[in-house]
Structure formats: C-alpha cells, structure tokens
Amino acid sequence: MEMNDLELVSIKEVCITKVNGFESSSLLDILSVEEPLEIRISYGPEAEKIHKNISVTMRTPGNDFDLAIGFLFTEGIITSYQDVKKVYHTNTDCSFQKKNIVQVDLVEDFIPHLMSSDRNFYTTSSCGVCGKSS
C-alpha cells in the first residue's frame, strides 16, 4: 500500500464549527479514522479446513495484514511468519465492511495454538463496538 493510499483510509476531512468566545466559524479539519477489524484464521487439511474467528479490535485502517499476523504471533497462536500461507481481506456482502475483515490462511500442516484464544479477544474502545460477542 502506497503512503498516499494509507493516508486516504486513515484520515478523513470533515467540516467543523470552531467556537472562539462568542464567535463561530466553519472550517475543514483532519481526523484520524478508527474502525473495527475482525481477524479470522483457517487451518488444517484442504478437505477438512477449520475456520475460526479470533479477534475484533479497533484500529486506524492501513496495515491490516501486519496487524493481524503480529496479533496472532504475540498471542502465541502462530510461532512464525512461515506458519502463514495467505493473508487477505475477505469478500462480504456488505461493501462497507469489505476492508474490515482479514482472513489468515495457515499452512496445511500447522496446527495453531488456540488454548488461549478461547477467551474473547475483543479490545475495548469508547465506541462500544468492541467487547460485543457479535
């Protein structure tokens, strides 16, 4: 992803009203974008593929693949980048969500360490989206 592409998804220009004492004026301001990211994995033999939703976390869009792989590594679910076969945004019916779900396909002979992932990895945020089980 080019830096300009990253800027397009990570910031947004909005019209605000600036108040100074008893005067107000309209102007454009730049805000950071924050959206939920769902991380999913699939593993096992091709004919018996297991799919699991691992986490929903809030993030500024941009480096979603790195975030997903780093999360899986730091939580001990994978042991190295060699455990990963493919990483991509999933296709969904909802065009708004198409870049908010990352699928990580693991290599066929790797079994992820999921004992700690049975707890819900829902990162808290003030928006109220995270922490929900659905």
Q: Point out the residues that are catalytic.
A: 127
Structure-token pair, residue 62: 């941009």
Report helix, strand or coil for 42: strand
Helices marked H in the chain: 3-10, 64-74
CA distances from 42 to 4, 79, 132 (A): 32, 15, 22
Residue ranges of the alpha helices (H) in 30-86? Answer: 64-74
